[in-house]
């Protein structure tokens, strides 16, 4: 009988050891944990924080071993991990990946952190390797499912369930068979539809990450308890490929090789949907090089892959959450010198009449050549036509923060300061960087996930400090 499609990935997940990684992985692990932890802490300042806390924290008063950021007591593993997954996605500053079109960190790291708190005897080296295998799973399965899947399904939610399951299975030291069972349980729960964007419900996007993490952890726990899961959850007669009518998936994605997928992740430069980042980088280039007044802009043509219009084509955003998916609005803001960056994407920008007027002159055009290059690249071209007939144009294939254009350590730390400024309290950036450094250092034994939550709880929310 043929080997199940997910068995090679299950074997990798079970057998991987952190010593298999080159020394360069220390830098990548620092970048990864720094990106996610800063996004989590920043979520404390988002307007959705209290609502999600009400929805996802247990209402029965039950106490558990894991923390939800900003809360003084412990919660159950699944509740804490789910809440932290959603919270770390609020500002859209968490990492992303081109080929899989996912946000891997928010589905992997919350599961690992919650389980590490629940099982403090697990060594840090295994926590580190659990993150690596979790990224391997979500990125490989997301890339395997492809663009046809992404057109309808939020791959962060679907493939992310496997990422959380893989990380949890590895941390719990499941063997190959039980890891494959965990994948079966994960696949039967993988879900998340883009209809929320069509129905102006983008504030529910964080729930996709929460459900993926909760279900991924539960999948590993089911397998750990000896409950068998489907072993051919992808290719079976009534498996995922049949349910989603997927025909052209590339099997090579399911076979881990010598290089690790975590090294191919993007650390975002903009707190918006990643589909528009190359476009915004182009707009910055035009703004910085051009000499024009906003009223002199006759038209703006944005040429992009079809995937961008599928996800980031909100025409008239009424909320900041919707603005993150409006390419025309964000391009207009950038060309008007009001970049929708970590400081600029605020309610005042949403109310800016000059930006809204310019956004009405921005048109999106699907470029077939760009669509063919997606998702390996994120090509974009922006062309501005001025009243005097001059034309300003810029084109990019990759985004700032992509592996081809990575952040330096100093720039990443500066970015971390900007991200933490979104929180509702003053946070010690140096303490967070030290926590991240100690996590990434294979020689350091003085690291605990609890220290991250202590950092938030030791800080006074700004509204309380003012009152």
Cα angle 357-350-295, degrees, rounded to a multiple of 5: 25
Nearest Cα residue to 375 out of 95, 105, 104, 147 = 147
Domains and their CATH numbers in the chain: 7-264 (1.10.4100.10), 274-396 (3.30.1330.120)
In the predicted model, residues of the chain with pLDDT beneath 50 are 462-463, 465-467
What pLDDT score was predicted for residue 463? 45
Segments of 31-90 assigned E as strands:
66-67, 74-75
Q: CA-to-CA distance for 33 and 358, rounded, in angstroms?
A: 38
What pLDDT score was predicted for residue 41? 98
Q: Are 84 and 40 in contact (CB under 8 A)?
A: yes
Look up tokens 């309380």; give the residue. 464
What pLDDT score was predicted for residue 446? 87
Q: Are 263 and 399 in contact (CB under 8 A)?
A: no
Q: CA-to-CA distance for 219 and 169, rounded, in angstroms?
A: 9
SS3 content of the chain, % helix, strand, coil (to 5): 55, 10, 35
Q: φ and ψ at 154, to 5 degrees?
A: -80, 100
Look up tokens 């804490």; give the residue. 80
Longest Cα pair distance anywhere in the chain, in angstroms? 72
What pLDDT score was predicted for residue 291? 83
Question: Where is 410: in which H helix or E strand?
Answer: helix 409-420
Look up residue 139 and give its two tokens.
């990125």
Look up residue 269 and give its two tokens.
């430069």
Q: CA-to-CA distance for 266 and 236, rounded, in angstroms?
A: 33
Q: Are 170 and 126 in contact (CB under 8 A)?
A: yes
What pLDDT score was predicted for residue 465? 40
Q: CA-to-CA distance for 41 and 463, rounded, in angstroms?
A: 16
Cα angle 199-202-206, degrees, rounded to a multiple of 5: 135
Reported pTM: 0.90
Q: CA-to-CA distance for 51 and 47, rounded, in angstroms?
A: 8
Nearest Cα residue to 205 out of 252, 163, 153, 149 = 153
Strands 391-396 and 380-386: antiparallel
What pLDDT score was predicted for residue 22? 65
Q: Euclidean distance between the first and final Cα of the chain, in Å?
A: 69
């Amino acid at each position: 009988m043929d080997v199940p499609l997910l068995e090679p990935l299950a074997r990798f997940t079970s057998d991987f050891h952190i010593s298999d990684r080159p020394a360069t992985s220390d830098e990548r692990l620092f970048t990864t944990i720094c990106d996610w932890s800063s996004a989590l802490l920043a979520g404390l300042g988002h307007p959705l924080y209290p609502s999600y806390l009400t929805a996802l924290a247990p209402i029965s008063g039950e106490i558990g071993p894991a923390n939800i950021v900003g809360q003084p007591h412990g919660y159950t593993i699944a509740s804490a991990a789910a809440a932290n997954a959603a919270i770390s996605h609020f500002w859209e500053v968490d990492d992303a990946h081109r080929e899989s079109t996912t946000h891997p960190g928010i589905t992997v790291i919350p599961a690992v952190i919650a389980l590490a708190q629940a099982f403090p005897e697990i060594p840090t080296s295994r926590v580190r390797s659990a993150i690596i295998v979790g990224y391997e799973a979500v990125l490989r399965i997301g890339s395997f499912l492809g663009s046809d899947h992404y057109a309808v399904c939020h791959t962060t939610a679907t493939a992310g369930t496997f990422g959380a399951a893989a990380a949890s299975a590895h941390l719990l030291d499941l063997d190959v068979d039980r890891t494959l069972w965990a994948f079966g349980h994960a696949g039967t729960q993988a879900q998340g539809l883009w209809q929320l964007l069509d129905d102006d419900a983008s504030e529910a996007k964080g729930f996709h990450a929460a459900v993926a993490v909760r279900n991924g952890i539960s999948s590993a726990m089911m397998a750990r308890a000896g409950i068998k899961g489907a072993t051919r959850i992808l290719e079976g007669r009534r498996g995922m490929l049949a349910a989603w009518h997927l025909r052209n998936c590339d099997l090579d994605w399911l076979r881990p090789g010598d290089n690790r997928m975590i090294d191919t992740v993007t650390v975002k430069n903009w707190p918006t949907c990643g589909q528009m980042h190359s476009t915004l980088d182009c707009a910055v280039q035009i703004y910085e090089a051009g000499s024009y007044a906003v009223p002199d802009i006759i038209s703006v043509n944005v040429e992009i892959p079809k995937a961008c219009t599928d996800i980031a084509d909100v025409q008239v955003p009424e909320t900041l959450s919707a603005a993150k998916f409006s390419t025309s609005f964000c391009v207009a803001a950038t060309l008007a010198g009001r970049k929708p960056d970590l400081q600029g994407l605020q309610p005042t920008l949403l109310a800016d009449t000059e930006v809204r007027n310019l956004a009405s002159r921005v048109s999106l055009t699907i470029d077939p050549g760009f669509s063919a290059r997606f998702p390996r690249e994120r090509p974009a071209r922006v062309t501005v036509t001025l009243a005097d007939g001059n034309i300003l144009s810029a084109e990019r294939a990759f985004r700032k923060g992509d592996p081809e254009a990575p952040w330096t350590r100093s720039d990443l730390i500066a970015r971390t300061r900007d991200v933490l400024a979104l929180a509702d309290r003053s946070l010690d950036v140096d303490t967070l960087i030290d926590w991240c450094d100690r996590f990434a250092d294979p020689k350091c034994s003085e690291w605990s996930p609890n220290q991250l939550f202590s950092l938030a709880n030791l800080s006074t929310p700004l509204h309380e400090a003012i009152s």
